[in-house]
Amino acid sequence: MPAFFWGVTLTIVAKLWLTSQIRIAPVFGDHDAENYVEHARDVLAGAWFGGYTDLTLIKEPFYPLYLALVQESGLTLTLANLLLYAGACVIACLAIRPLIRNGIILAGVFAVLFFNPMTYAWEAWMAMRSEVNNSLALAATACAIAILVRRRASVRRLIPWWAGLGVSFAAFWLTREEAIWLVPSLLVISIAYVLSIRRDPGIRMKLLGLAIPVAIWGLSGATIATINEHVYGWNTVVETKAPEFVSAYNALARIVPAKEEPLIPVPRSSREIAYRVSPAARELEPALEGPLGQAWTDVVCNYQVHICDDIAGSFFVWALRDAVAAAGHYSSGRDARDFYIKLASELDKACDSGEIRCRNKALTIFPNPTWSQLPDIVANFRAGVAIVTTFSQFSLAHVVVPPNPVLDAKYAYIVGSISQDRNGFEGWLATDRPMRIAVEDPTGVKPVDGAFGEPSADVAAALARAGHAAWDDRNARFSFMSDCDEECFIVATDSQNRQVRIPLMNSVRDFATPHAIYHLGVIQTRLLTYDNNLKQRILGFIARLYEVGVPLWVLLGALLLAARAIRAAIKRRLTVPSVPDVLSIAVMAGGGFLILILAALTVSYSAGFSPEYLGSFVPLMLFALGAATALDALLAYRLIRLRRTT
């Protein structure tokens, strides 16, 4: 397959060049990015996930372990993410290689997968688990399809694919909490596999082989939970899914409030009832109704939920945990676990006895949608389909943060390379005597990349108009980069320490004193775009092709799939669909389930549609489209050749 090899190599090199400007932005986020970086540092220090607090076991564990592995490898995080996704794309192509022998076409499928716009959108600049989730979802689906494609092969040839499915799905499951959405996709493929080998002589061993990925998945979770119990005293992978926490949360959420509040799972009136009947809940009152609760309310107000008088949406999960910590119950995992058990027991007892009015208790921390919400869920489902197929949330802009030496050093150690984008300033500054030029802000002198005093003979005319023709104009130009964004000054100091301070801002384009004349020509704001305009234009053009082409591609693919299904029904050929059709059905099942979950969350919990949640589905969609189109093209080519020869 030399054509495939060279096609893959050239595609990877091209994307490496186009995305070479991507760096990781060192952002604050004790519940997200910074939390992963901290945990990775703790893992590398041999301390598992560090000292125990309410933030220790809040997220699935795979991503911090991945960050630690990347740091040990010597790769930067951005390069590691790109290579991981490239590996997943190669696995996808190898999975369908027995069906597509043409190396050029297979390389085309790889290119479609690899240039997925979501892999170089704004989240690529963040140390976020969504950047590995897309690779893991694609790898797991590809391994499952490979097993179906090779269903007639020997058990020995299937073992690597069974193991690959187990490892990739286990990692996917341990990366994000909503990983269950991929299960319908894998179930569809597994059912097609079982049905297609029902007459195979080796069916028993081939069915038994399916236990390999299940065992790897179960063993991985059990291992993490056992380590957490040994280190922290709580046998759980992630606390927000632990039965004890879920029970306590839902004991609060089941209390019927004085007034139903949309998007507020535990309104203040419900909490007041809980404080009255539960000593454990009463311990949380000072925090939830005090400064801590107000801080979370302010966060909600500034978020997409825009509720400013209570703790709304999924934010209550974190407010509750912070309140438990403030009450002194996070000295160990065992202590926190026992408190949640006590809280749930006291509230459930009050509910079951009729002391307070309560609903049925939910099984997860996500609210159960009601029939009255169905129209809104359907509308949001349609919106979600449009978002994911049109790439409407794609953006080349990225997060910019102010310099912070401590945070920068922490990130740089783990991710290898951090974003230090700066603003560019170009103009000229002429003085009547030699002066030292510097850039300052309230903290002192700012480092700059560039130069003052560049040759600038064209400034002579401006000086002449100002009556300063005798001033030296030969070295007046400046061009430099700085992270200045506010309260910065260009400071010119003469030999007697007399200073001219010029505000470095867009509103001050011209400035003059008896000793200096200043003009600011260009502020090149590079904080929100790639540094290289050519690369940005190319990536923007590629993304535009996806935005325009994929919706039409999806529509055409759905129509062809429906036509084949109708044709089979008319001819009463109720057999196992072809591999491309199975893949398409599986992707629609998983993607539909994911979008349905997010639609329900948007209606009853908080804003659900974002690239962080939807991004991992996009590679599957492109894989199904690319595989089906490639096989249809090959089939059409063969039919044309057959007709020509006959």
pLDDT digits (tens, 9 = 90+) for 625-637: 999 998 877 777 7
Does one domain contain both 339 and 426? no
Q: Which pLDDT band, with edges at 50, 70 and 90, does 451 fall under? A: low
Looking at residue 427, its pLDDT comes to 81
Looking at residue 331, its pLDDT comes to 93
Does one domain contain both 70 and 193? yes
Which range marks the domain in which residue 343 is found? 255-359
E strand or H helix at 83, and its extent? Answer: helix 77-95
Q: Which pLDDT band, with edges at 50, 70 and 90, does 163 fall under? A: very high
Q: Which residue has the higher pLDDT, 253 or 303?
A: 253
Distance CA 641, CA 496 (A): 89
Nearest one of 129, 133, 126 to 411, comparing CA atoms: 126
Does one domain contain both 81 and 136? yes
Residue 316 near residue 307 (C-beta atoms within 8 A)? no
Looking at residue 473, its pLDDT comes to 64
- Among 359, 394, 412, the domain boundary falls at 359
- Among 359, 382, 400, the domain boundary falls at 359
Distance CA 294, CA 76 (A): 39
Looking at residue 567, its pLDDT comes to 81
Does one domain contain both 485 and 566? no
pLDDT digits (tens, 9 = 90+) for 244-253: 999 999 999 9
- Residue 26, φ and ψ in degrees, nearest 5: -80, 90
Residue 394 lies in a domain: no
Looking at residue 450, its pLDDT comes to 63
Decide if pLDDT at 329 tops 60: yes
Distance CA 193, CA 101 (A): 22
Q: What is the mean pLDDT of residues 34-52?
A: 94
Looking at residue 574, its pLDDT comes to 63
E strand or H helix at 519, and its extent? Answer: strand 516-524
Does one domain contain both 276 and 179? no
pLDDT averaged over every residue in the chain: 87
Q: Find the range with the poorest average confidence among 186-200, 328-342, 444-458.
A: 444-458
Q: What is the mean pLDDT of residues 90-116?
A: 94
- Chain-centre distance for alpha carbon 321: 23
Residue 417 lies in a domain: no
Q: How many CB atoms lie within 10 A of CB 222?
A: 12
Looking at residue 472, its pLDDT comes to 66
* Residue 86 neighbours by CB under 8 Å, 6+ apart: 8, 12, 114
Name the H helices within 303-404: 315-326, 333-352, 374-390
Residue 96 near residue 143 (C-beta atoms within 8 A)? no
pLDDT digits (tens, 9 = 90+) for 456-493: 666 777 777 777 777 766 667 777 767 665 578 888 88
**Got the DSSP string for 172-216?**
HHTT-TTGGGGHHHHHHHHHHHHHHTTT-TTHHHHHHTTHHHHHH
Q: How many CB atoms lie within 10 A of CB 463?
A: 18
Here the tokens at position 173 are 């499951």
Nearest one of 585, 440, 567, 542 to 144, comparing CA atoms: 585
* Residue 307 neighbours by CB under 8 Å, 6+ apart: 263, 264, 300, 301, 313
- Among 500, 524, 548, the domain boundary falls at 524
Residue 570 lies in a domain: yes
Looking at residue 529, its pLDDT comes to 42
Q: Which pLDDT band, with edges at 50, 70 and 90, does 552 fall under? A: very high
Residue 135 near residue 85 (C-beta atoms within 8 A)? yes
Tokens 């209570």 locate to: 310
Residue 55 near residue 35 (C-beta atoms within 8 A)? yes
Nearest one of 37, 31, 124 to 406, comparing CA atoms: 37
Q: What is the mean pLDDT of residues 248-261?
A: 91
This model's pTM is above 0.75: yes
| Number of domains comprising the chain | 3
Residue 349 lies in a domain: yes
Nearest one of 587, 599, 569 to 627, comparing CA atoms: 587
Residue 170 near residue 61 (C-beta atoms within 8 A)? no
Residue 392 lies in a domain: no
DSSP letter (8 states) at residue 24: B
Can you say whether the dihedral through the CA atoms of 36, 37, 39, 43 is positive or negative?
A: positive
**Got the DSSP string for 441-483?**
ETTEEPP-EEEEEE--GGGHHHHHHTT-TTS--TT-EEEEEE-
The answer for 592, left when phi > 0, alpha when psi is -120 to 50, beta otherwise, is: alpha
Maximum separation of any 2 CA atoms in the chain, in Å: 99
Does one domain contain both 497 and 559? no
Does one domain contain both 170 and 145? yes
Residue 8 near residue 90 (C-beta atoms within 8 A)? yes
Distance CA 157, CA 150 (A): 8
* Residue 461 neighbours by CB under 8 Å, 6+ apart: none
Residue 398 lies in a domain: no
Distance CA 495, CA 498 (A): 7
Decide if pLDDT at 313 tops 70: yes
Does one domain contain both 278 and 351? yes
E strand or H helix at 546, and its extent? Answer: helix 533-570
Distance CA 129, CA 122 (A): 13
Q: What is the mean pLDDT of residues 610-637?
A: 88
> Counting Cβ atoms within 10 Å, is residue 8 exposed (0-12), middle (13-18) or buried (19+)?
buried
Does one domain contain both 9 and 146? yes
SS3 262: coil
- Residue 454, φ and ψ in degrees, nearest 5: -80, 150
Residue 92 lies in a domain: yes
Q: What angle do CA 288, 290, 294 make, to 5 degrees?
A: 80
Does one domain contain both 508 and 556? no
pLDDT digits (tens, 9 = 90+) for 263-279: 889 999 999 999 999 99
Decide if pLDDT at 578 tops 90: no
Residue 588 near residue 617 (C-beta atoms within 8 A)? no
Decide if pLDDT at 29 tops 70: yes
Decide if pLDDT at 211 tops 70: yes
Q: What is the mean pLDDT of residues 561-584?
A: 81
pLDDT digits (tens, 9 = 90+) for 124-148: 988 999 899 999 999 999 999 999 9
Q: What is the mean pLDDT of residues 383-392?
A: 92
Q: Find the range with the poorest average confidence among 194-198, 283-287, 517-521, 624-628.
A: 517-521
Does one domain contain both 66 and 122? yes
Distance CA 165, CA 147 (A): 9
Nearest one of 435, 380, 277 to 606, comparing CA atoms: 380
pLDDT digits (tens, 9 = 90+) for 54-71: 999 999 999 999 999 999
Residue 366 lies in a domain: no
Residue 494 near residue 435 (C-beta atoms within 8 A)? yes
Does one domain contain both 574 and 498? no
DSSP letter (8 states) at residue 418: B
SS3 411: helix
pLDDT digits (tens, 9 = 90+) for 492-536: 887 777 788 888 776 777 888 888 888 887 665 544 444 567 888
